[in-house]
Structure 1
Amino acid sequence: MIELASVLFILLFFIFPLPALAIGSGLFTTWTLYRKYEIFNAQPAEGKENLIWGTVLFLANFICSIFLGLAMALAVYYFIVESFYLFVFNFLFSSIVSLRWFDFTHNLYRLFILKLQPKEAFTSSHFAICQAFRKRDSFGLAPVYTDAGALRLENNQLIFKGVFREETFSPRNISNIEKKSSEKIKIFSSQGNHKNAEVFLITLKEKFYPFKSRQDRDQIFSHLSLNMKATATP
């Protein structure tokens, strides 16, 4: 569904490039700034620096994607077809693909987190970001905190050890688990098992190509799912 919406949105840009670009950029910027503001306000004081660095590196990754998209579009424009509309389409398409599938700054973020945690914490574990949310009274999810650190499977548990938070997910405190993308898993906790948070979004962030984390994501998902079924079986 998301992929279809993205394709339709790109086609809209191709048909009406300038108006759609202005409207799309304005909506995206407004929504992004609002979400970042909301997340920053909800972030505990001990995790502010972590969040700031994550935001700075996200912006750096965004700029790199824009430059890559521009380079690809210019290459097509000068060496293949001199078409303004095709140039706009290629620029948007290449930038979006680059932003989604290339993570230029993942190593920098990991090095920053390594300075805040002992290296032993990352032995035989994955580097991941944990975003915690709680349900709003009206609609949607409200952010609780964002942390980064080591993620590992241990017995029938998934243990996250971040810079300032630790979470343990097991069949006893998980009500549901979903795959969200190649590198993301959403975990719904049972009520009352996690302080101030009901939904957790785990993002594996250790590869330049996020889609290459699919195997690790599937391993974690299968491990938790099988243990949940085993626990539910009388």
Structure 2
Amino acid sequence: MIESLFILLIIFLFIMPVPTLALATGLGIGHLFYKQFLLFRFQPASQKKLIWYTLLCNGINFILSLFLAFGMSYAVHYFLTDLFWLFLFNFLFCFAVSIRWFDFSNRLFRFLVHRLSEKHTPSLKTTGNTAFVMVYGLRKSIGWGAGWTPVFVDAGDIDLTREILRFKGLFLDLTLNSQSLENAISVSSEQITLIPRRENDYQRAGRYKLVIRDQFYPFRCRETRDLIISRIFPTEKPPANTPSSPLPLNNPTTG
């Protein structure tokens, strides 16, 4: 079904590019706003400010990405060539790279969340080696569209030095180990999908999306992502004094 729709989209882009782009953009923006509406609806009333902080920082990233893309594409347009279509291509390409790989507001978002946590909940005592993450609770097939819909969002720290990883957010307290989680799937450089063994009591979340927001460049979070997954599901290793292969038996000599 998805493949057929994608092929139809390509065909209509060749036949009617402008109306198709306008329709696809409108549907995408409408779907995005609808998901934000659901998130506002199901988020705890005392923690709706966290959604505003998220939208604020995403807006900052969007605006700064626009400025960066315009500056770089205009530099090529001014110094090298004045082709409009090349300018447009450079603008779209630079914007796509910037909005995906540059997190301009990661420090601001962490500051706002930590300030909010001091007012509502005592923060988790950490030893220094921590990862600042966001956790989205996802529920399947709500409202318009298929897939998993976010029904709440939380943010906080994970202490990576503890024997058992624990996420302590503004209202969510999760123990991240193989007893509470069925699987942990690496989705991207900074995202992990966590599948719990049972639904969360709050809003019946069937999955969690963990987003690491530690770095300006999200691709630098890969090491932290792999560390979290390996700590949740540690690989079994044989003891050091156990030989990897059995020793040969010496046949007794017979006289």
- State the alpha-carbon separation in 1 of the partners of residues 66 and 21 from structure 2: 14
- Distance in 2, matches of 1:18 and 1:137, equals 31
Matched, 1:225 2:233: yes
Taking the aligned partners of 1:188 and 1:54, their CA distance within structure 2 comes to: 24
**8 Å contact kept, 2:142–2:149:** no
Percent identity between the aligned chains? 34
**Greater mean deviation of Cα atoms: 108-117 or 188-197:** 188-197
Aligned amino acid, residue 126 of structure 1: A
Residue 169 of structure 2 corresponds to residue 169 of structure 1: no
The root-mean-square deviation of aligned C-alpha atoms, in Å, is 2.8
Q: Which of 206-215 and 109-118 deviates more? A: 109-118
Q: How does 1:88-107 map to 2 (within 5 A)?
A: 88-107=88-107
Evaluate the alpha carbon distance shift between residue 210 and residue 31 of structure 1 in structure 2; reply closer, same or farther with a 3 A threshold.
same
2:111 aligned with 1:133: no
Please list, as runs of the form range in 1=range in 2, the aligned pairs for 1:109-148 lying within 5 A after superposition: 109-118=109-118, 121=125, 123-136=128-141, 139-148=146-155
Q: Distance in 2 between matches of 1:37 and 1:103?
A: 24
* CA distance 1:40–1:62, change in 2 (3 Å): same
Deviation at 1:136, TM superposition (A): 3.0
Residues of 2 paired with 1:23 and 1:99: CA distance? 22
Q: Tell me, what secondary structure is at the counterpart of 1:181?
A: coil
Q: CA offset at residue 113 of structure 1?
A: 1.2
How far is 1:134 from its partner? Answer: 2.1
Alpha carbons of 1:149 and 1:194: their partners in 2 closer, same or farther (altered >3 Å)? same
CA contact (8 A) 1:130 1:146 kept: yes
Alpha carbons 1:17, 1:85 under 8 Å: kept: no
The aligned length equals 218
Q: Which has the larger radius of gyration?
A: 2
User: What are structure 2's unaligned runs of at least 5 residues?
Assistant: 1-8, 238-255
Report the Cα offset of residue 18 of structure 1: 5.8
Are the counterparts in 2 of residues 46 and 164 from structure 1 also a CA contact under 8 Å? no
Distance 1:73 1:187 in 2: 39
What whole-Å deviation, never above 9, does each CA across 1:184-211 have from its counterpart, x for those lacking one? 1110001246542220111110211111
Question: What secondary structure sits across from 1:172 in the alignment?
Answer: coil
Q: Name the counterpart of 2:222.
A: 214
**2:157 and 2:42 mapped to 1: Cα distance?**
22
Normalized per residue, the structure richer in helix is 1
Corresponding letter in the other structure for 2:38? E
- 1:188 aligned partner: 195
User: Does 2:232 correspond to 1:202?
Assistant: no
Cα distance in 2 for partners of 1:25, 1:75 equals 28
Q: CA deviation at 1:137?
A: 7.2
TM-score by length of 1: 0.82
TM-score, normalization: structure 2? Answer: 0.76
